Chain A
């Protein structure tokens, strides 16, 4: 397999962009680094090259985009950091949650359901904004758990919680789209 030839492409996503392996990240710097790397390997740069170079460019560009997408999203970044540390976040299998969190989930769902039935796009937009605040607060906690406390167990729980909130956000988005379009 050609992939084995990529000495540097075997390195992790942080090392690829020359970034420290931690949760805290300068998003604008990542954007710049990604655009710089993408400019080097994009298949458009190799349209008149040989097949070998085209293949390699496609793989490299795919690799660079994957690394960027993973690091850009706080949830994916945290999950990835935990995976590098050998921790499985078990999002599909481990569904046990603190009762208070589950209660809050039910309330969210009811609120979304009410807004959907009431065809109330503004209420859905409001819920979406509130949810983003909750998400941001949880991302801050995640940063502390990963970068300061190095507490993998609590970080994994936060990842599972964030996954719940991400699904809620998706539901709100779908509901808004269903009402608008």
Chain B
């Protein structure tokens, strides 16, 4: 926030016409930020011209937080305070982490999500991720010469609700307005499909640093419809490094290494993996802290042998996704490779063999996700592109409730197109029961203990009735970000309880606001000025949208309704002129309420118009 913003001469010309929005690929190993400039998606480099930002955060002795290459360079020297691959810990409790032993970090269990012990205090993975996102935001704002309207942040398609919510919280903590959470393979499909005018069924095979996703998409005339998605949210390029690391330990007869040596050898392992993409052999050398030297030769053939089970592990979700999409490998027109780990020749070969066709690698696998996110962000920010296209995505894992006997009842099955809502009725099982506990779960297994627990809440105040008489309707609503909200309502008495499914690590809206203001508190006026700017931007776009709506559909309103709306719009314009954040927000809220019936009628009309056109076409 303290950065001076100097606009590039060419870019400041028409700030109102082009709203600054970015796509961010928040990766396990590397992160990127991209935007659409003069119609073309492009990755924004740092001041040294580097596109990638290593997802590494170091909390230094002097209290500074550094992110990226500088932090990465120091990771062996200060492994406990240099956090790498934090994405693996997002939305995860200590019990979820199978690889605690191989991390150099000290974890403490906090409700719902682990925290890392650093010299800067206990850090939640959300905070560490926010540091990475903040660095990207600053890069984008410096490069584009203005404040961002918002960002599309990508997440692995296989992320569950807790992991998605954690990502959204991290973005908000970094001061970003989240336009949409977008699934990584879907982002890649947008970048690929729009570039190549692709039609037909495509598979996106996305092997990142720490996550694996596979999505099956049907591309038809500008519609990207995800048919099925599957994956493994703890499998990625890191695991290949770890296989090499274990091989080094075995070859050199090492055990009980210090955090420093562990980090050093993991770094050497990653370098060896990258070298083996181009060469048949590579040499691994290291000087350990006790003076012992490591000098080994690793061949491609050995590497392929020790990593084969990892590749086989990716083919299981591929089969599962094809099954769910009800198609065979032979129906797939092309396989798009995404993620740096797909550069490994043995991965490309295995995928090619499975589908009987060489995978598509014409887009940079490191950049394609960020580019797709940027294209989506551009559209969502209201900068209309040339082509109209639409994204229909799905939820990756079934959502359900705990029922009697510790069993899960599925309410929304996996691979349902979002947004979606589903309601189910339950009843009481005891006479006079006045409360009902609702336990929300995500996963495919039958037993509650095998699924991820997302949230628990209690519906109280049910009037006493005989067992089985109450009718409790539980409604699940999943929005376009793939995030769940649940309400429970007793239908006879009307008693209601609802919960935005916030995983129990519990960063409430208030806490985020507080942490956000803490981080920029050193410029006291800054936050107020920023709030005013944001309020004005939002109000302007609301007024613009209503003006456009009135221009085309004013006939849907009677004179009285029109007068009410006009008055509410004028009140908002006056509040903007007076530059009062409070009044602008209050008037925006009122105008929103006043315009809701109009919005609903327009929505109806648009559907009917579009469908009438279709029905005539099909006849």
Any B CB within 8 A of the CB of A96:
no
Contact A39 B614 (CB under 8 A): no
Any A CB within 8 A of the CB of B591:
yes
Any A CB within 8 A of the CB of B452:
no
Any A CB within 8 A of the CB of B40:
no
Question: Mostly helix, strand, loop or mixed at chain B's interface?
Answer: helix
Contact B416 A48 (CB under 8 A): no
Any A CB within 8 A of the CB of B417:
yes
User: Closest CB of chain A to B186's CB: distance in Å?
Assistant: 12
- Closest-by-CB residue of A relative to B152 is A47
Contact B607 A41 (CB under 8 A): yes
Any A CB within 8 A of the CB of B618:
yes
A 25-75 contacts with B by CB, 8 A: 29, 32-33, 35-44, 47-53, 55-58, 60-62, 64-66, 68-69
CA distance A129 to B604 in the complex (A): 42
User: Closest CB of chain B to A11's CB: distance in Å?
Assistant: 10
CA distance A44 to B379 in the complex (A): 8
**Residues on the A chain within 8 Å of B223, using CB:** 35, 39
CA distance A40 to B477 in the complex (A): 20
Among A2-10, A100-108, A137-145, which stretch is in contact with chain B?
A2-10
User: Closest CB of chain B to A66's CB: distance in Å?
Assistant: 7
Contact B595 A36 (CB under 8 A): no
Contact A177 B320 (CB under 8 A): yes
Contact A18 B419 (CB under 8 A): no
B 569-618 contacts with A by CB, 8 A: 588-589, 591-593, 595-597, 599-601, 603-604, 606-608, 610-615, 618
CA distance A176 to B418 in the complex (A): 27
Contact A37 B610 (CB under 8 A): yes
Any B CB within 8 A of the CB of A180:
yes
B 354-399 contacts with A by CB, 8 A: 376, 379-382, 388, 390-392
Any A CB within 8 A of the CB of B562:
no
Any B CB within 8 A of the CB of A17:
yes
CA distance A42 to B41 in the complex (A): 23
Interface residues on B, range: 35 or more
CA distance A18 to B181 in the complex (A): 33
Any A CB within 8 A of the CB of B462:
no
Cβ contacts B474-492/A at 8 Å (1 or 0 each): 0001011000000000000
Q: A18-B611, A29-B618, A62-B477 are in contact. Are A39 and B419 (CB under 8 A)?
A: no
**Residues on the B chain within 8 Å of A32, using CB:** 614, 618
Any A CB within 8 A of the CB of B242:
no
CA distance A65 to B422 in the complex (A): 11
Any A CB within 8 A of the CB of B546:
yes
Contact B477 A44 (CB under 8 A): no
CA distance A5 to B557 in the complex (A): 13
**Residues on the B chain within 8 Å of A62, using CB:** 419-421, 477
User: Closest CB of chain A to B65's CB: distance in Å?
Assistant: 31
- Closest-by-CB residue of A relative to B149 is A48
User: Closest CB of chain A to B525's CB: distance in Å?
Assistant: 28
**Residues on the B chain within 8 Å of A181, using CB:** 316-317, 319-320
**Residues on the A chain within 8 Å of B392, using CB:** 35, 38, 42
- Central interface residue in A9, A16, A36, A44, by most chain B CB within 10 Å: A44
Q: A8-B607, A69-B416 are in contact. Are A43 and B479 (CB under 8 A)?
A: yes
Any A CB within 8 A of the CB of B225:
yes
Contact A35 B390 (CB under 8 A): yes
**Residues on the B chain within 8 Å of A39, using CB:** 223, 388, 390, 610
- Closest-by-CB residue of B relative to A64 is B607
Contact B316 A180 (CB under 8 A): yes
Question: Mostly helix, strand, loop or mixed at chain A's interface?
Answer: helix
Any A CB within 8 A of the CB of B542:
yes
Contact B420 A66 (CB under 8 A): yes
Number of A residues with CB within 8 Å of any CB on chain B = 46
CA distance A16 to B615 in the complex (A): 12
**Residues on the A chain within 8 Å of B613, using CB:** 36
Any A CB within 8 A of the CB of B545:
yes
Indicate which residue in B376, B422, B593, B604 contacts A6 across the interface (CB closer than 8 Å).
Answer: B604
CA distance A54 to B19 in the complex (A): 19
Q: A35-B390, A44-B391 are in contact. Are A5 and B607 (CB under 8 A)?
A: no
- Central interface residue in A9, A40, A48, by most chain B CB within 10 Å: A48
Contact B542 A41 (CB under 8 A): no
**Residues on the B chain within 8 Å of A64, using CB:** 607
Any A CB within 8 A of the CB of B180:
yes
Contact A53 B599 (CB under 8 A): yes
User: Closest CB of chain A to B451's CB: distance in Å?
Assistant: 14
Contact B604 A2 (CB under 8 A): no
User: Closest CB of chain B to A88's CB: distance in Å?
Assistant: 13
B 1-58 contacts with A by CB, 8 A: 19
Any A CB within 8 A of the CB of B541:
yes
Contact B615 A18 (CB under 8 A): yes
- Central interface residue in B316, B416, B419, by most chain A CB within 10 Å: B419
CA distance A47 to B610 in the complex (A): 20
CA distance A173 to B319 in the complex (A): 12
Any A CB within 8 A of the CB of B472:
no
- Closest-by-CB residue of B relative to A26 is B618
Extra pairs beyond A35-B220, A51-B588, A58-B419 (18, CB < 8 Å): A5-B597, A6-B603, A6-B604, A8-B607, A18-B611, A32-B618, A35-B225, A36-B614, A40-B603, A47-B180, A49-B541, A56-B600, A57-B599, A60-B603, A61-B419, A62-B419, A65-B417, A176-B323
Q: Enumerate chain A interface residues (CB-CB to B < 8 A).
A: 2, 5-9, 16-18, 29, 32-33, 35-44, 47-53, 55-58, 60-62, 64-66, 68-69, 173, 176-177, 180-181
Task: Please give me the 10 A-B residue pairs with the lowest Cβ-Cβ distance, nearest first.
Answer: A47-B380, A48-B382, A52-B596, A50-B542, A5-B600, A43-B480, A52-B592, A53-B599, A56-B599, A8-B604
14 residue pairs from A and B, CB less than 8 Å apart = A17-B611, A40-B607, A41-B607, A42-B390, A43-B419, A44-B180, A44-B376, A44-B391, A47-B179, A50-B588, A56-B603, A62-B477, A65-B418, A177-B323
